[in-house]
Chain A
């Protein structure tokens, strides 16, 4: 396919565009300062991607001996990363669809970028869960050959698979300038996205042996966090794309867009704040010893710093102060709020995944408060808090996935002409 025969906007196979790609990483003498900084960052990200790729190969071929997970804590930071990527992708898709579905015109110019970033984030998420699975290749065959329709994980795979296809289809239609069809796909995709996201919540919410995860509120919590991380990511995407291209400053229409997204972020953070407060209080009020101990560990126990610093300060505290104060009109402050929210949301996922497994399911105390001394079934197990520390391989894989997401977005933005100027 050449640019002469392809639909408008699909000139991305041209050799001219592809030949420009090495320049993304090469610092030229005439580059302005912001582009030099951008290229240095991309070079660093490329190194991280290579390190993550090597770690991924190690995990794939050496098995899970190189991961920090144990028999008692089988889901670690790779699952937290997977949840972060796919839930953020859903949030990005849903916020971007607000433009199409509810006619919020200010969001429409960034539809292509949002869809592309959502697609890349899904690929990163799938890569993480693929490396977390013991036998990822067998999954592709067994999910079809031996499906268990009562398993939320099976539905998770199917729904996110359909969602990924819908994202790819919508991106194609947007690039091919078939807006009416793209709008229909967007509506369908929104329904699938909500189903996939809440079903992912149900993967955790259906485990009645894990009181911290169990319950119908967990899927709703997932969709609330999707809107938070999706909005924050969209703000970062808009800002960084402008910052490291063209003039190196945010263009006036995007400043208006950032302020609008800041208001949305405030709304979603408010909902999440209520959720977090009432969830914690419900845990403290619960009759169950297990749930009480987990919530206490988060509030005043071993996860104290993690909970209050990341969930309290980074996700809820600082961003809410920005969007509810006079700083909400300042682009820099809004971007700061979006950045700390995004970083904090990753750590919220980590807290969520670890906290659900951190307590041994063995009884801790009896009805009269007596202490049970339980012989451990597995090496390293103690009644009480189970340790988990991510290995360097796991950390490198997650950082590699983050690098892949950013680099793929930068390349896609370059060769797919995702910019809003191409819309006109």
Chain B
């Protein structure tokens, strides 16, 4: 059983938005919505300031509040722990949108709630998600945490990392590599 995860190396991400465009093309994301986006976070003030740059998306939490909140099991855990939305079951109540502490969901014009699925259709064919494939600096890494030799497993063993809002207890599967390479 796979346990899929993604990492974004903040030392390599230049927020070029190639991931955003690739995602939009791959998944036909409508105008005004996004499954993936880039963030630039400034900290401190001159001369002691830093900026974090990274690519964000659904965190595919192991304890996903959206899955608990969904009344029809449209939001569910799929293969390898991917948190996906079954559009055919979604009634559009948007409980999942409000349950998600990361604000990663949007309402598709067709009437269902949508978000990043780690490009499940590609992953099932052995390919990387579209955002990973186009990243020009190799900042995005996708793989199986149950495979100790996968690149992502090795990176998470060797690099300092953070997840968004760990205090929410959602156990995200999207990691941000913030420390230097060891």
Query: CB distance B93 to A153 under 8 Å?
Result: yes
A111 on the interface (CB 8 Å rule)? Answer: no
Complexed CA–CA distance, A71 and B43 (Å): 27
**Known contacts A148-B72, A209-B65, A377 near B92 by CB under 8 Å:** no
Q: Which of B70, B100, B111 contacts A135 (CB 8 A)?
A: B111
By the criterion CB–CB under 8 Å, are B106 and A75 in contact? no
Interchain pairs with CB closer than 8 A, number: 136
Q: Does B32 contact A (CB under 8 A)?
A: yes
Q: Which residues of B contact A134 (CB under 8 A)?
A: 90-94, 107, 111-112
How many chain A residues have a CB neighbour from B under 8 Å? 48
Query: Known: A63-B109, A153-B71, A373-B40. Is A208-B91 also a contact (CB below 8 A)?
Result: no
**B65 and A370: CB pair below 8 A?**
no
- Choose among B34, B69, B89 the residue that contacts A146 (Cβ–Cβ < 8 A): B89
Q: Are B72 and A139 in contact (CB under 8 A)?
A: yes
CA of A372 to CA of B159, assembled, Å: 24
Which residues on the A side are within 8 Å of B74 (C-beta)? 142, 146
B-chain residues with CB within 8 Å of residue A53 when the two chains form the complex: none
Task: Determine the chain A residues whose CB is within 8 A of the CB of B77 once the complex forms.
Answer: none
- Dominant SS at the B interface? loop
Picked from B31, B73, B109, the residue with its CB within 8 Å of the CB of A147 is: B73
Query: When the two chains form their complex, are residues B91 and A75 in contact, meaning their CB atoms are under 8 A apart?
Result: no
Cα of A384 to Cα of B100 in the assembled complex, Å = 17
Q: Are B71 and A148 touching (Cβ within 8 A)?
A: yes
Known interface pairs A152-B69, A373-B42, A375-B15. Does A138 touch B107 (Cβ–Cβ under 8 Å)?
A: no
B33 CB–A CB distance under 8 Å: yes
Enumerate A339-388 residues with CB–CB distance to B below 8 Å: 356-357, 360-362, 366, 368, 370-380
Query: Any chain A CB within 8 A of the CB of B123?
Result: no
Q: Please give the number of chain B residues whose Cβ is less than 8 angstroms from any Cβ of chain A in the complex.
A: 45
Nearest to B34 among chain A residues (CB) is: A377
Q: Which of A189-214 contact B (CB under 8 A)?
A: 203, 206-210
B44 → chain A closest CB, angstroms: 6
Q: Judge whether A301 is part of the interface by a CB distance below 8 angstroms.
A: no
Known contacts A154-B71, A207-B65, A209-B168; is-contact A374 B95 (Cβ 8 Å):
no
Query: When the two chains form their complex, are residues B65 and A135 in contact, meaning their CB atoms are under 8 A apart?
Result: no
Q: Is the CB of A379 within 8 A of B103?
A: no
**CB nearest neighbor in A for B104:** A377
- B15 to chain A: closest residue by CB: A375
Given contacts A135-B90, A361-B101, contact A71 B71 (CB under 8 A): no
Bound state CA distance, A282 and B176, in angstroms? 34
Q: Is there contact, CB below 8 Å, between B33 and A71?
A: yes
> Contact at A373–B56, with CB atoms within 8 Å?
no
Do the beta carbons of A64 and B69 come within 8 Å of each other? no
A128 to chain B, nearest CB (A): 13
The answer to the question of A150 belonging to the interface, with a C-beta cut-off of 8 Å to chain B, is: yes
A147 close to B100 (CB less than 8 A): no
Q: Which residue of B lies closest to A79 (CB)?
A: B94
The answer to whether A151 and B69 touch (CB under 8 A), given A74-B94, A134-B111, A203-B95, is: yes
B58 to chain A, nearest CB (A): 11
User: With the chains together, A143 CA to B89 CA distance in Å?
Assistant: 10
Contact of B94 with A75 in the complex, beta carbons under 8 Å: yes
Query: Distance (Å) between the CB of B27 and the closest chain A CB?
Result: 15
Cα A143 to Cα B33 with chains together (Å): 28
Q: Please, which residue of chain A has its CB at the minimum distance from the CB of B31?
A: A379
B73 adjacent to A146 (CB under 8 Å): yes
Cα distance A366–B41 in the bound complex, in angstroms: 10
* A377 CB contact (under 8 Å) in B15, B37, B98, B168: B37
Q: Shortest Cβ distance from B11 into chain A, in angstroms?
A: 18
Complex CA distance for A75 and B96, rounded to whole angstroms: 12
Choose from A148, A151, A361, A380 the contact partner of B103 (Cβ within 8 Å): A361
* A206 near B111: Cβ-Cβ < 8 Å: no
**Counting CB contacts under 8 A, is B97 at the interface?**
yes
A242 close to chain B: CB less than 8 A: no
Tell me if A378 and B90 are in contact (CB < 8 A): no
Contacts A357-B98, A374-B41 known; A153 to B106 CB distance under 8 Å? no
**Are A207 and B98 in touch, CB under 8 angstroms?**
yes
Contacts of B42 in A (CB 8 A): 370-373
Return the contact of B91 from the options A142, A356, A361 (Cβ within 8 A).
A142
Q: Are B39 and A375 in contact (CB under 8 A)?
A: yes
Tell me whether B91 and A136 are in contact (CB under 8 A): yes
Closest beta carbon of chain A to B67's beta carbon, Å: 8
Residue of B nearest to A142 (CB): B72
Tell me whether B25 is interfacial, beta carbon within 8 Å: no
**CB <8 Å contact, B106 and A378:** yes
Q: What residues of chain A lie closer than 8 Å to B98, measured between beta carbons?
A: 74-75, 207, 209-210, 356-357
A-B contacts besides A146-B73, A207-B65, 8 pairs, CB < 8 Å: A134-B90, A136-B91, A142-B89, A147-B72, A153-B71, A209-B65, A357-B98, A375-B40
17 of the cross-chain contacts (CB-CB < 8 Å) are A71-B32, A74-B107, A133-B92, A139-B71, A139-B93, A146-B74, A148-B70, A153-B93, A154-B71, A206-B99, A209-B65, A357-B98, A372-B43, A374-B39, A375-B37, A377-B56, A378-B32
Counting from the closest, the 5 A-B pairs by CB-CB distance are: A134-B92, A209-B101, A74-B94, A154-B71, A134-B111
> Hey, which bits of chain A sit against chain B, CB under 8 A?
63-65, 71-72, 74-75, 133-136, 138-139, 142-143, 146-148, 150-154, 157, 203, 206-210, 356-357, 360-362, 366, 368, 370-380
